[in-house]
């Protein structure tokens, strides 16, 4: 049986974040050659034998039980997203029982009508961070996601390969790290997705930062938050966003951006709307 490299690296990366004091144990004597907990310390906290945990972390733990995985997740102090990722990596048969990842994702017409009706930026992102649909305010704020240029139609490619994305986002590094973590989570859920693997390979070759952050094995599922923009036309904006998974297709996430009423950001958003008003002929084409 081939070693499970992804499981091995994920467990090592999570173990390296913890110190003995974090889990309430006295450190074992001797020089600590690597950061974080030792394997035997983690095994003690999880309540499994050191040999069993060593085999698991080496990616040789076949048919590992959910009880053991729960114990390891608690010992590593994983959040819910990390826990789900651990189960995906440790039980690949469970992952492969899912419906195969479709090569193309399409947005329902009703969802397109919904985002076009929004007066603030709104867009739908797919499993591979492809921009599946966007309204005119999203394109005015960030980029023309309707262009046939593939670099722009994928959020991660746009962030890492388009210099304008860095200029637009004062918090570019945090946003880019989040994209890496989202892709890492999806790679665990769909290890046989060739298009996702190709995207990760492309960005690893073209961006040293992507390659470095990918090796950190962080995972993330976005839900809501705050973003800052420095737009060339209207200046600084601070927006809040909600990320909503569509109930009939959980692989698609609807993002809706909002600004605080009466704020400087609302004024800037109104100005942006007035400066980039959607032409009537394009609005009709979008509606149809």
- Residue 114, domain CATH: 3.30.450.180
Helices (H), ranges, 154-193: 155-161, 163-168, 172-189
More reliable by pLDDT, 123 or 101: 123
- 192 within 8 A of 230, measured Cβ to Cβ: no
Q: How many CB atoms lie within 10 A of CB 261?
A: 7
pLDDT of residue 159: 95
In a domain, residue 102? The reply is: no
Residue 67 lies in a domain: yes
Report pLDDT digits (tens) over 228-274: 999 999 999 999 999 999 988 888 999 999 999 999 999 999 999 99
Do residue 113 and residue 47 come from a single domain? no
pLDDT at 62 over 80: no
| Structural domain includes residue 103 | no
The more confidently predicted of residues 248 and 31 is 248
Question: Above 50 in pLDDT, residue 280?
Answer: no
17-26, 184-193, 258-267: segment of lowest average pLDDT: 17-26
| Between 134 and 279, residue with greater pLDDT | 134
Give me the pLDDT at residue 26, please. 75
Could you tell me if 125 and 232 lie in one domain? yes
Task: Say whether both 42 and 157 belong to one domain.
Answer: no
Note the pLDDT of residue 240.
97
> What pLDDT does 276 receive?
80
- Checking 58-65 for CB contacts under 8 A at 24+ apart, the result is 58/3, 58/8, 59/3, 59/4, 59/5, 59/6, 59/7, 59/8, 60/1, 60/3, 60/4, 61/4, 61/7, 61/90, 62/1, 64/90, 64/91
Q: Residue 69 is part of a domain; what is its CATH number?
A: 1.10.260.40
Average pLDDT value for residue range 220-235: 95
Mean pLDDT, residues 41-70: 88
Say if CB 121 and CB 138 are below 8 A apart: yes
Tell me phi and psi for residue 161, to 5 degrees. Answer: -115, -10
Q: Is the same domain home to 62 and 146?
A: no
Q: Do residues 85 and 172 share a domain? A: no
Identify the domain boundary among 38, 63, 96: 96
How far apart are the C-alpha atoms of 24 and 238, rounded to whole Å? 40
Q: Domain check: are 131 and 191 in the same one?
A: yes
Do 227 and 120 share a domain, yes or no?
yes
Comparing 258 with 127, the larger pLDDT belongs to: 258
**Can you tell me the distance from the alpha carbon of 144 to that of 139, in angstroms, rounded to the nearest whole number?**
5
pLDDT for the residue numbered 281: 40
Whether 41 maps to a domain, the answer reads: yes
Cα separations in angstroms, 94 against 13, 49, 99, 116, 187: 23, 25, 11, 38, 14
Cα 250 from chain centroid? 14
Number of CB atoms found within 10 A of residue 113's CB: 11
59: left (phi > 0), else alpha (psi -120 to 50), else beta? left
Instruction: Output the pLDDT for position 147.
Output: 79
Tokens for 75, please give them: 């010992």
Q: How confident is the model at residue 287 (pLDDT cuts 50, 70, 90)?
A: very low
pLDDT at position 94: 63
Total domains, the chain = 2
Same domain, 137 and 227: yes
Q: Is 154 helix (H, G, I), strand (E, B) or coil?
A: strand
Given a cut of 70, whether residue 151 has pLDDT beyond it is yes
Same domain (yes/no): 175, 255: yes
Domain range enclosing 192: 109-287
Residues 40 and 132 in one domain: no
Q: Measured at the alpha carbon of residue 103, what is the angle toward residues 99 and 106, in degrees to the nearest 5? A: 95
Q: How confident is the model at residue 13 (pLDDT cuts 50, 70, 90)?
A: very high
Q: How much is the average pLDDT of 270-286?
A: 64
| Same-domain pairing of 43 and 120 | no
Lowest pLDDT segment from 9-13, 31-35, 107-111: 31-35
Same domain, 91 and 179: no
pTM: 0.88
């Amino acid at each position: 049986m081939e070693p499970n490299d992804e499981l091995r690296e994920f467990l090592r990366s999570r173990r390296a974040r913890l110190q003995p004091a974090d889990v309430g144990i006295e450190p074992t004597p001797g020089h600590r050659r690597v950061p974080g907990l030792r394997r035997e310390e983690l095994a003690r906290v999880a309540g499994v034998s050191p040999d069993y945990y060593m085999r698991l972390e080496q990616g040789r733990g076949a048919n590992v039980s959910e009880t053991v995985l729960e114990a390891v997740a608690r010992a590593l102090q994983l959040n819910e997203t990390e826990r789900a990722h651990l189960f995906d990596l440790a039980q690949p048969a469970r992952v492969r029982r899912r419906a195969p990842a479709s090569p193309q994702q399409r947005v329902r017409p009703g969802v397109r009508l919904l985002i076009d009706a929004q007066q603030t930026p709104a867009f739908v992102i797919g499993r591979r961070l492809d921009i599946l649909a966007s309204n005119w305010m999203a394109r005015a704020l960030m980029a023309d996601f309707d262009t046939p240029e593939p670099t722009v139609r994928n959020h991660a490619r746009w962030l890492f390969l388009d210099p304008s994305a860095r200029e637009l986002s004062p918090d570019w590094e945090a946003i880019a790290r989040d994209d890496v973590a989202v892709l890492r989570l999806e790679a665990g859920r769909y290890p046989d997705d060739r298009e996702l693997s190709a995207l990760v390979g492309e960005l690893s070759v073209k961006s040293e930062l992507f390659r470095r952050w990918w090796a950190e094995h962080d995972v993330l599922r976005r839900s809501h938050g705050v973003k800052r923009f420095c737009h060339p036309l209207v200046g600084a904006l601070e927006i809040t966003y909600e990320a909503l998974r569509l109930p009939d297709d959980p692989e698609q996430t609807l993002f809706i951006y909002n600004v605080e009423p009466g704020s400087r950001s609302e004024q800037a958003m109104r100005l942006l709307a007035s400066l980039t008003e959607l032409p009537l002929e394009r609005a009709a084409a979008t509606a149809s």
